Amino acid sequence: MASIPCTFQILSTSSKPIIPLPSFPKLTSSKFLGTQNSLSWSRPSKIGPSNGSRTQCWFRFGKNGVDAEGAGIYGSQKRDDFDKDDVEQYFNYMGMLAVEGTYDKMEALLNQDIHPVDILLMLAASEGDKPKIEELLRAGATYDVKDADGRTAIDRAINEEIKDFILSFSVQKA
């Protein structure tokens, strides 16, 4: 079962103001931070063991506490759930911006009439990122979409192992 046990402490906060803050800008109200919506006082929040009140809970992911995929955390996205922001986030996450120095490569792909999930597959193949490749293929990415240079995800694959992985996964899916 995919569950995370945790313990929470239920604490009360003091209503006695302890720190005058006349020089700070107006604070927003926050029961979590223990602040008042005024210029003059701030209450501390007591986080930690103080009064001994405890509760236990378990987070169950998905139907009947199954796995991450069943819970919709991993593998639940479909083709149209991916967008240009996902491409940019992956580009940054994989350090491609640091290597390339600009977004030119990413923007060139985005400016073509290629679906973002297929762009992501091309990028993941060029990085050899098997978990991402699997996620994208499950979501409906197609490996035979060509970029402006006529290259597919298979052509961009970092090595033969990744090419075989993409092709074998596509055969299994069919």
Region 37-65 average pLDDT: 53
Tell me the C-alpha distance between 122 and 156, whole Å. 6
State residue 3's pLDDT score: 46
Tell me the C-alpha distance between 154 and 159, whole Å. 9
Per-residue pLDDT band at 21 (split at 50, 70, 90): very low
User: What residue ranges define each of the domains in the chain, with the CATH number in brackets?
Assistant: 1-76 (no CATH), 79-173 (1.25.40.20)
Which positions ≥6 away from 99 have C-beta within 8 Å? none
Tell me the C-alpha distance between 114 and 147, whole Å. 8
Average pLDDT over the chain reads 74
More confident call, 164 vs 70: 164
DSSP state of 43: P
Q: Is the pLDDT of residue 35 over 50?
A: no
Which tens digit of pLDDT belongs to each residue from 5-18?
555 444 545 555 55
CA angle 90, 92, 94 (to 5 degrees): 65
Judge whether 30 and 92 are in contact, CB under 8 Å: no
Tell me the C-alpha distance between 159 and 54, whole Å. 53
Extract the tokens encoding 151. Answer: 């290259």
DSSP state of 96: H
Tell me the C-alpha distance between 2 and 6, whole Å. 13
